[in-house]
Structure 1
Amino acid sequence: MKTPLILFIALMLATQLHAQDSDREFTLSAFADVYYAYDFNNPLNNSRQYVTQAARHNEFNLNWGYLLAEYSAKRVRSSFGLQTGTYVQYNYAAEPNELTKMIYQANAGIKIKEGIWVDAGIITPHTGYEGVASIDNEIYTRALGTEYTPYYLTGVKLSAALNDKLDVTAVVVNGWQIIAETNNAKSVGVNLQYRPTEELTLSYGNLIGNEQPGFVGSRKVRNYHNAWIKYTFNPKFHAVGSFDYGVQELLGSAESGHFVMAMLIAEYKVSEKLAIGGRVENMRDDDEILVNTSGGGFNLSTYSMTGTLNVADNAKLRVEAKYGSDANAIFLSQDATTHDDFFLLVGSLAMRFTK
């Protein structure tokens, strides 16, 4: 447990020695997102099912906290971050090494030419609209399309800003949100982000690879695609639409199954301090490729409303009400009863500090 802290301190001290050089920059940042969530289903063991964000019921807790050191120079850059919180507890549960669960980012990059970088290590994903940090999103909780697609990847990423309107990214990674390799295959993906006007952003990304664990045996290729569009109508109002589609060969079958996720987000800024956001979404995974409900299939729709108070430039106070319903009774309560819907109230204070 001491090793990541030692590495973090070493990086901080080493890069600080060069902080005065005009071509070199060292940044230290910290983030904390504390929350209280109440799920009216009173979930079993106070653990909310099918989510990694705000995952604990009736409990004050840290959703996500990190310390991140970043170094950049004319031709190289690197970052190393440590993390903790209930998000880490739930999202990294499949990682076999307790040490790696603590690592938020660990990568190094080289600039090939102006606007073109190659980074390797534990990296941020190239697909999806929402990010892992709640402070950067319109809605406090994450969409299902975010929860069930990668929050992190491990491998090599090529990113190129071709001009002021078009960015291209390509990755070769170990697999679908994993640090430790689980088979002999690698996954590949690309992302294109196009900004034809200041108001409009279009994005398309994919990730294709064998997601069958084991170094011997059959391959089960997952072919995943994501597209989103954001339009800013005026300085106070914008909307985002996102669509995810994936196909994967099924276990014990020559056939393939698929999953579909769609969402719509809108945010209105009432004032400089106050904003109101809403999100509707649906995720359907009848073949349980991404979601395990013990055989009933997954067909969940949710409806969220978030109020955001910008208490400072680097801090947000959020309150969210969220309702969800599924075609099956997949939510388990403390008294062993099951429900086909849920209602959640959650409050959060998130703050980011950068030096």
Structure 2
Amino acid sequence: MKRIAQFFSLAAVPLLTVSAIAQTTDTTLTSAVTSAATTAAPNAGLTLSGYVEAYYSYDFTAPKTDQERPGFLYNHKRNREVNVNLAFLKAAYAGERVRANLALQVGTYAQYNYAAEQGLLKNVFEANAGVKLSKSRDLWLDAGIFSSHIGFESAISKDCWTLTRSILAENSPYYLSGAKVTYNTGTPDRPNGKWTFVVSVLNGWQRIAKLPGYSGMAISTQVQYRPSSMLTLNWSSFLGSDRPDSLRQGRFFNNLYAIINPAGKFGVILGFDIGADRKPVVQTGSDVRQDGGGSYVWYSPVVIARYKTSDRSYINGRVEYYDDKNGVIIATGTPNGFKTFGYSLGYDYGILPNALLRIEGKLYDSKDAIFSASNGLSKTNTSLTTSLAISF
């Protein structure tokens, strides 16, 4: 504990000395941080904005020579070095019945999470265009590359309740590519904003380019209900595949969450993911069959709570569990697969209305020894992460 406490005080130093690249917004600290500043272009419908998050992570479990965090993580991935998790510049155009977004990114998030994408597409955070289909209703058709509507966390850390992402967020889509129709209830004269409905046709499970050997399209939906400012209920789904056609492995995935009292002194997020992949086809001579029939199932519950300690600060905590015994999403090669609890405790401080400093300690506890350690493999992994997020 003494060692952890000493490092806790030292770990923030590198980030405090990072030069202020931009001005930031933090929707986490709603009372301390205002909306992101934007630079208006000559056309009143065009805005420019940006975001930079620098970080330092220290993995107490991994060998000193190990420069990466565990393989199922994609944010704040580098170990024991100051780096940039995500930085992007964004141009957004909004007209009466048309809209478009283009954001280009760099950082270790893009390096690891977009590793399977082609060339310059790895640097595209967002690129989409949309048209409003109705004069009297909030009904839009958008196409291109856009942030995923699946889940309550995104790659933009300042918009999330915790510094690092939950295991379920790291292992479900952060971005999607395709076309979607979005409808928000109400009319321009009487908007109520209680219901949002989304239907998407996609290239695949977090895919810009289709998976080689997969010819189909995927379908994703979202139903969100906001009866008041104190409660949001959401169900998102994915139906498609992330395997070649020859395996005939369809995927059905569901994400459910409730956000309770988000702007209050004490708030809670309850989340649950569950997915199923059909078992692969096995061909023996002329006999083609499903391997034993049925599906491989994985699931993950998570609870996140935060408490407002001042107009500028919050403390937050998280308890989560991820069960993927068949290694559909996270393969370990161990007898019990990936069965891991996660615990985190963090503190957020809004230095300026647009600058957020965060620190978080995290512990993973797995049924099997799956974490790299100085003496081989360990069932637990402990880390400390600090970050400075700035947007303009």
Q: Above 0.5 in TM-score? A: yes
Partner deviation per Cα, 1:284-306 (whole Å, 9 max, x = no partner): 00011101213441011110111
Work out whether 1:59 is the aligned partner of 2:81: yes
Partner deviation per Cα, 1:119-146 (whole Å, 9 max, x = no partner): 0000111211111100011110000110
Query: Secondary structure in 2 aligned to 1:217?
Result: helix
Query: Secondary structure in 1 aligned to 2:78?
Result: coil
User: Aligned residue for 1:269?
Assistant: 308
2:202 alignment partner, one of 170, 173, 176: 173
In structure 1, C-alpha distance between the alignment counterparts of 2:149 and 2:55, rounded to whole Å: 27
Query: Secondary structure in 2 aligned to 1:162?
Result: strand
1:88 alignment partner, one of 110, 114, 127: 110
User: Aligned residue for 1:219?
Assistant: 248
Q: Which amino acid aligns with 2:176?
A: L
Instruction: Report matched runs for 1:27-176 at 5 Å.
Output: 27-43=47-63, 45-49=66-70, 50-95=72-117, 97-113=118-134, 114-163=137-186, 164=192, 165-176=194-205
1:249 CA displacement: 1.1
Query: Secondary structure in 1 aligned to 2:228?
Result: coil
User: Aligned residue for 2:347?
Assistant: 307
User: Aligned residue for 1:203?
Assistant: 234
1:339 CA displacement: 0.7
> Is the 1:246–1:258 contact (alpha carbons within 8 Å) kept by the matching residues of 2?
yes
In structure 2, C-alpha distance between the alignment counterparts of 1:179 and 1:32, rounded to whole Å: 23
Work out whether 1:324 is the aligned partner of 2:364: yes
> Is the 1:288–1:295 contact (alpha carbons within 8 Å) kept by the matching residues of 2?
no
1:312 CA displacement: 1.8
> Is the 2:62–2:371 contact (alpha carbons within 8 Å) kept by the matching residues of 1?
no
Partner deviation per Cα, 1:183-228 (whole Å, 9 max, x = no partner): 1111101111101122111101100102213xx5232111000110
Query: Secondary structure in 1 aligned to 2:247?
Result: coil
TM value normalised by structure 1: 0.90
In structure 2, C-alpha distance between the alignment counterparts of 1:313 and 1:116, rounded to whole Å: 34
User: Aligned residue for 2:33?
Assistant: none
Q: Which amino acid aligns with 1:79?
A: N
In structure 2, C-alpha distance between the alignment counterparts of 1:260 and 1:151, rounded to whole Å: 17
Query: What RMSD, in angstroms, separates the aligned Cα atoms of the two structures?
Result: 1.5
Partner deviation per Cα, 1:217-272 (whole Å, 9 max, x = no partner): 23211100011011118721110100010011123423311000110011111111
Query: Secondary structure in 2 aligned to 1:192?
Result: strand
In structure 2, C-alpha distance between the alignment counterparts of 1:229 and 1:220, rounded to whole Å: 30
Equivalent pairs counted in the alignment come to: 330
In structure 1, C-alpha distance between the alignment counterparts of 2:233 and 2:103, rounded to whole Å: 30
Q: Which amino acid aligns with 1:236?
A: K
Q: Which amino acid aligns with 1:30?
A: G
Work out whether 1:193 is the aligned partner of 2:224: yes
- The structure having more radius of gyration, on CA atoms, is 2
TM value normalised by structure 2: 0.81
Q: Which has the higher relative contact order, 1 or 2, with Cα contacts under 8 A spaced 6 or more apart?
A: 2
Work out whether 1:235 is the aligned partner of 2:269: no
Q: Which runs of 5+ in 2 are unaligned?
A: 1-39, 187-191, 283-290
In structure 2, C-alpha distance between the alignment counterparts of 1:324 and 1:16, rounded to whole Å: 46
In structure 1, C-alpha distance between the alignment counterparts of 2:146 and 2:229, rounded to whole Å: 28
CA distance 1:336–1:87, shift in 2 (3 Å): farther
Query: Secondary structure in 2 aligned to 1:100?
Result: helix
